[in-house]
Amino acid sequence: MSDSSNSAAAPAQNQTRILDTWITRQEKKVLLWLAARMPAWVVPDTLTGIGLFASVLIFAAYALTLFDKGFLWLASFAFVLNWFGDSLDGTLARYRKIERPRYGFYIDHIIDAVSEALVFIGLGLSPYLRLDVALLALVSYLMASVYIYLTTITTGVFRISYSGVSPTEFRLIAIATNTLVFFAGNPNLRIPTGGILPAPLSISLFDLVVIGVTILILYLFVTNALATGASLSGVDRAAYKAKKTKERTERIAKRQARREAQLLRKAAARQARSRTRVLIE
C-alpha cells in the first residue's frame, strides 16, 4: 500500500509531483514536523527499509489471524508503521536536500510492488478474505501502479492521488475494516445465483470492502487511462501536424530560394552577355 512518495522517486529533475487530498494536505504538516526532528543517523533509506519491514509485518499479521483475531491489531499497527516509513522517506530527503531522482524512482517502485504483493497475499491467507478476491485486488492495484509510472514517464507528471483518494486513504480503510471486523465479526452475505452455481454465493464483510476498493481502483484506472491516452494522442497529432507544417514551410522556402538563385544566375548571365556584346562592338 505504498504511496511511492520518496522525493527521489522521479525519473527527471523537472518532474511535477501531485499528491493532493484533504487528508494528505494535513499529512504534509505532520511529515514536515517529523522530518525536522529525525536524528542525523536516520536517512531516507532507513525509512524505506522500515516501510518494507512493515509490509512483511502486515503479511505475517494477517496470516496469523488464522490462529487469533487479535493479530488484526498488529496488522493495523503495521499499516501505520508502513505509512511512517514510506511517506516520511521522501519528506526527509527533500527536507535535507539529498534527493536521488533515478535511484529513488527505481528502488521506491520496486519496493512498492513487493509491498503490494505482501499485503494482498497476506489478506488472502487470512480467514477474512477470499484468496481470489485478494488476488483480483492485487492485480487492480498493480495495473493502477503501472498506469502511474507510464504517465510519469510520458507526461512528466507524477500523480499519486486521484479523485480525492491516495494510498493514505486506502491504509485508513484497511485499519477501519480491521477494527470493525475485530469487534463486529466478519458476517457473510449469501447471494442467490439463480441456479447458475450449485449453491448461493457467500461474501464476507471484508470481501465486500475489498471488492468495493477494487471496483474504485479499476474505475479510476480505466477512466484515467482513456483520458490520458486521448490527451497523448492529441499531443502527438499536434506535434505531427506541426512537424509537417514545418517541413512544408521549409520545402517552400527552399524552392523559393532555388528560384531566386536561378533568377540571379540568369540576370548575371544576361549582364555578362551584354558586357561581351559591348566589348565586341
**DSSP string across 218-281:** HHHHHHHHHHHHHHHHHHHHHHHHHHHHHHHHHHHHHHHHHHHHHHHHHHHHHHHHHHHHHHH-
Residue 101 has a pLDDT of 84
Q: Is the pLDDT of residue 8 over 60?
A: no
190 compared with 247, residue with greater pLDDT: 247
Across 149-164, average pLDDT: 91
Say what angle helices 167-184 and 205-280 make with each other, to 10 degrees. 170
Radius of gyration (Cα) for the chain, nearest Å? 30
Q: Are 79 and 1 in contact (CB under 8 A)?
A: yes
Region label for 2, one of left (φ > 0), alpha (ψ between -120 and 50) or beta (otherwise): beta
Across 77-98, average pLDDT: 95
Residue 17 has a pLDDT of 81
The pTM for the full model equals: 0.83
Residue 209 has a pLDDT of 95
Residue written as grid cell 483480483: 136
Q: Are 176 and 206 in contact (CB under 8 A)?
A: no
CATH class of the domain at 16-238: mainly alpha
Q: Is the pLDDT of residue 196 over 80?
A: no
Side-chain-facing half-sphere of 55: CA atoms under 13 Å? 21
- Give CA–CA dist 226/154, Å, rounded: 14
Q: Is the pLDDT of residue 12 over 60?
A: no
Residue 14 has a pLDDT of 59
Across 119-133, average pLDDT: 96
34-66: b (≥16 Cβ within 10 Å) or e: bbeebeeeeebbebbebbbebbbbbbbbbbbbe
Q: Which H or E run includes 170? A: helix 167-184
- Which is nearest to 100 in space by CA: 89, 110, 111? 89
CA-to-CA dists, residue 184 to 40, 171, 253, angstroms: 44, 20, 79
